Amino acid sequence: MTAPPDNNLYNAEHFINRELSLLQFQRRVLAQAADLAVPLLERLRFLCIVSSNLDEFFEIRVSGIREQIRLGGNIASTDGILPAELLALVSTEVHQILSEQYALLNDDILPALEREGIVFLRRGLWDEAQSAWIHDFFRREVMPVLTPIGLDPAHPFPRVFNKSLNFAVELEGRDAFGRVSNIAIVQAPRVLPRIIRLPDRPGQAPYTFVFLSSVLHTHVDEIFDGMHVHGCYQFRVTRNSDLFVDEEEVKDLRAKLKGELQQRHYGDAVRLEVADNCSCQMADFLLQHFRLGQTDLYTLPGIVNLVRMMQVPDRVDRPDLKYPPFRPGLPKSLGNRRDIFSVLHERDVLLHHPFQSFAPVIELLRAGADDLQVVAIKMTVYRTGTDSVLMEHLVRAAQKGKEVTVVLELMARFDEEANISWANRLEEAGAHVVYGVFGYKVHAKLLMLVRREADRLRRYVHLGTGNYHPGTTRFYTDFGLLTANEQIGEDVAEVFKQITGLGRASTLTHLWQAPFSLQPNVVAAIKNETEIARAGRRGRIIAKVNALLDPETIEALYEASGAGVEIDLIVRGPCALRPGIPGLSENIHVRSLVGRFLEHHRILYFRADGEDRVYLSSADWMPRNFFRRIETAFPVLDFQLKRRVIKEGLRSCLLDNTQAWEMQQNGRYRRKTPRRAAHSAQSILLAELAAES
């Protein structure tokens, strides 16, 4: 197994900081919310996605930086930035992003929604009838579930749930017991809706909403009867949500995780958000309580949790303000409802989601559960959701007595509870459930069915770049390969044997596997193109990944560029490589696509003197994927399918001039604009691959 490279071996000027690059991605998402070509309700959705992404950024990335500082860490990352310096840079960048985000919300999107009859009514604009209905709603639905806490020696500051909506109230006066407390905390229970739609009535906008924060602000004096309320301020705390499990101490991973999950909601605070009406005294009091500094305070001109507005597009029946619906298509080989085993016996099948349906994968598993000739099913599960037809088929197969083995990744971030629940159900049905190899997340996407045919066992395999999650396949771009190729089947069987059993890693015929051969093979393929170029022949590399951070891979790409290899990198998220620098990376171009669908597939293309080697993978080019996860990259061997991957997954992205952003040397991005005809990769693929509505 190759060890992760030592950061000290590299020139810091060659690299861009991961966290700052990730924040640049949030700017590209925010640009979608500002794009007038995007339907209005989808613009609102993109605005909310930025907030959701920033939440996770603070929960995981910023909490990691703060932990380094707490432990006295003074080691710079590959780009040469020290943790304390990075925390300050992150704070500055996020403050700028939030300023732009709320300006876009308040000055553009909300007025545009109002013109379409979708109104978020401020307190000062409620008429008499609306005020009466809201007051009744407060007395009937809100007041009974509130538990206000007046701070005094008998009532310490309550434990504030991660990302929950809370109110800090400034008070004056004595209560019924003669107590004097000038501060109280009101937590909004999770059972309460954050956005409330008012009943329809003549003269009112068709969709009129009020925020729960406005309702509580208006009637806070009723919560503290007889006291004088000086101010009521909404606030929200983001906490460290990363889980840590000590490999040397844990005996039962599932039991240990159950305990850790309960504490995730109360980790160390990493960010405080307050509304812009919050007094300086109250903000300082909250910062002191949560042990945060001024750079951790984010004052917002509006509601403190924009993520809650994500539900609005689904609650508004205005198709004209949303992306048009589409029906995913099917490859021609599967269009005549032939038995899926007979189809795969003849040829491989490539699925391109979301433009093509995920149904064939579900059908393969359904057929495996029902077919008497299928004797065993093995599957890796990283994310699948709480309601999964795939998992139901696995349960049914186990109940029917088939040999079902599920490698379930319990440490899939924010999906741990769902995966623990599925582990219980699968074991109750008689399936073998294993949790991979401790210390290595199982991120590979593998499904294998073993079927008895004519006195022999034949393997049918699905390998994918995305999760076995029917929900995300509707808006993540991913490739899936269905094949009965014997050598690939043997490789997949070997990977399962390594994960579930014990023994040394074997050499695989076709698959590249992390943490053993994936990164060395990627670097070797890059170096091969380098040698080809040095020999005077054409070297060509195209790679599409979600993140590019591995320093050894980046240095290999720099070397290839210096030899004259033409390199195009399509990196959706963070990218540590600096493109276009004379003498270092002048032959490297980096672009990012942000559009209706989340660009998610990982595709590797090496020209290899005309062989056109194409691999699909579950792994990004990051040290964690190369060295701390079990990942695979698998070749597309069929010539026609290889052509499809190059055309649909790579060339279309390189031709895109409407949703593509070109990375500059300093890590900033410039959006492509069409000079002549517009080319949108996602729109063209929808037209070519989706079924006619």
Query: What percentage of the chain reaches a pLDDT higher than 90?
Result: 74
Please spell the DSSP secondary structure of 15-31, one letter per residue: B--HHHHHHHHHHHHHH
User: What per-residue confidence (pLDDT) applies to 243?
Assistant: 53
Q: Which two tokens stand for residue 574?
A: 């963070």
Residue 257 has pLDDT above 50, yes or no: no
Residues 612 and 529 occupy one common structural domain: yes
Report which of residues 240 and 388 the model is more confident about.
240
pLDDT digits (tens, 9 = 90+) for 20-70: 999 999 999 999 999 999 999 999 999 999 999 999 999 999 999 998 888
d(CA 490, CA 508): 8
Question: Cβ distance 613 to 525 under 8 Å?
Answer: yes
Which burial class, exposed, middle or buried, applies to 67 when counting CB atoms under 10 A from its CB (0-12, 13-18, 19+)? middle
Residue 2 forms part of a structural domain: no
Domain boundary among 321, 350, 381: 321
Q: Mean pLDDT lowest for which of 7-21, 218-232, 248-262, 342-356?
A: 248-262
Residue 155 forms part of a structural domain: yes
Query: What percentage of the chain reaches a pLDDT higher than 70?
Result: 92
Residue 563 forms part of a structural domain: yes
d(CA 487, CA 509): 7
User: How far out from the chain centre does Cα 108 lie?
Assistant: 27
Question: Cβ distance 623 to 644 under 8 Å?
Answer: no
Report whether the peptide linkage leading into residue 354 is cis, meaning its omega lies within 30 degrees of zero: yes
**CB contact set of 615 (below 8 Å; sequence gap of 6+):** 512, 603, 604, 633, 634, 635, 636
User: What per-residue confidence (pLDDT) applies to 422?
Assistant: 76
pLDDT-derived band at 320, boundaries 50, 70, 90: very high
Residue type at 394 in one-letter notation: L
- The enclosing domain of 214 has a CATH number of 3.30.1840.10
pLDDT digits (tens, 9 = 90+) for 424-448: 888 888 888 888 787 888 899 999 9
Residue 256 has pLDDT above 70, yes or no: no
Question: Cβ distance 60 to 624 under 8 Å?
Answer: no
Which burial class, exposed, middle or buried, applies to 164 when counting CB atoms under 10 A from its CB (0-12, 13-18, 19+)? middle
- The enclosing domain of 494 has a CATH number of 3.30.870.10
Provide the annotated active-site residues.
443
User: What per-residue confidence (pLDDT) applies to 153?
Assistant: 60
Q: Report, as an integer, the average pLDDT of 305-331.
A: 95
Q: Report, as an integer, the average pLDDT of 234-245.
A: 80
pLDDT-derived band at 2, boundaries 50, 70, 90: low
Residue 521 forms part of a structural domain: yes
Residues 139 and 88 occupy one common structural domain: yes
Residues 296 and 344 occupy one common structural domain: no
User: What per-residue confidence (pLDDT) applies to 246?
Assistant: 43
Q: Which residues pair with 577 in a beta bridge?
A: 15
User: What per-residue confidence (pLDDT) applies to 424?
Assistant: 82
Residues 415 and 563 occupy one common structural domain: no
Domain boundary among 466, 483, 510: 510
**Helix pair angle (18-34, 40-56), 10° resolution:** 160
Residue range of the domain that includes 532: 513-689
Q: Nearest to residue 257, comparing CAs of 406, 441, 386?
A: 441
User: What per-residue confidence (pLDDT) applies to 388?
Assistant: 80
Q: Report, as an integer, the average pLDDT of 605-630.
A: 96
Q: Which residues pair with 273 in a beta bridge?
A: 236, 298
User: What per-residue confidence (pLDDT) applies to 438?
Assistant: 77
Residue 248 has pLDDT above 50, yes or no: no
User: What per-residue confidence (pLDDT) applies to 3?
Assistant: 59
How wide is the angle at C-alpha 455 spanned by C-alphas 451 and 459, nearest 5°?
Answer: 25
Residues 285 and 305 occupy one common structural domain: yes
Residues 503 and 549 occupy one common structural domain: no
Residue 161 forms part of a structural domain: yes
d(CA 47, CA 24): 15
Q: Report, as an integer, the average pLDDT of 461-472.
A: 91
User: What per-residue confidence (pLDDT) applies to 4?
Assistant: 60
pTM of the model: 0.92
Residue 244 forms part of a structural domain: yes
Residue 251 forms part of a structural domain: yes
HEC string of 530-543 equals HHHHHCCCCCEEEE
User: What per-residue confidence (pLDDT) applies to 245?
Assistant: 46
Number of domains in the chain: 3
Q: Nearest to residue 143, comparing CAs of 201, 218, 93, 85?
A: 218
User: What per-residue confidence (pLDDT) applies to 411?
Assistant: 59
Q: Which two tokens stand for residue 267?
A: 């980790």
Residues 96 and 77 occupy one common structural domain: yes
pLDDT digits (tens, 9 = 90+) for 111-139: 999 999 999 999 989 999 999 999 999 99
pLDDT digits (tens, 9 = 90+) for 490-533: 999 999 999 988 778 889 999 999 999 999 999 999 999 999 99
Mean pLDDT of the chain: 90
User: What per-residue confidence (pLDDT) applies to 391?
Assistant: 87
Residues 346 and 381 occupy one common structural domain: yes
d(CA 491, CA 497): 10
CB-facing half-sphere around the CA of 83: CA atoms within 13 A:
15
Residues 431 and 528 occupy one common structural domain: no
Residues 298 and 347 occupy one common structural domain: no
Residues 506 and 535 occupy one common structural domain: no
**Length reported for the chain:** 693
Domain boundary among 510, 526, 552: 510
d(CA 86, CA 189): 35
**CB contact set of 245 (below 8 Å; sequence gap of 6+):** 253, 256, 257, 260, 411
Coil vs helix vs strand at 481: strand
Residues 146 and 268 occupy one common structural domain: yes
pLDDT digits (tens, 9 = 90+) for 199-224: 999 989 999 999 999 999 999 999 98
Q: Which residues pair with 445 in a beta bridge?
A: 464
Residue 1 forms part of a structural domain: no
Helices (H), 57-82: 63-70
d(CA 324, CA 373): 42
Report which of residues 470 and 31 the model is more confident about.
31
d(CA 520, CA 64): 28
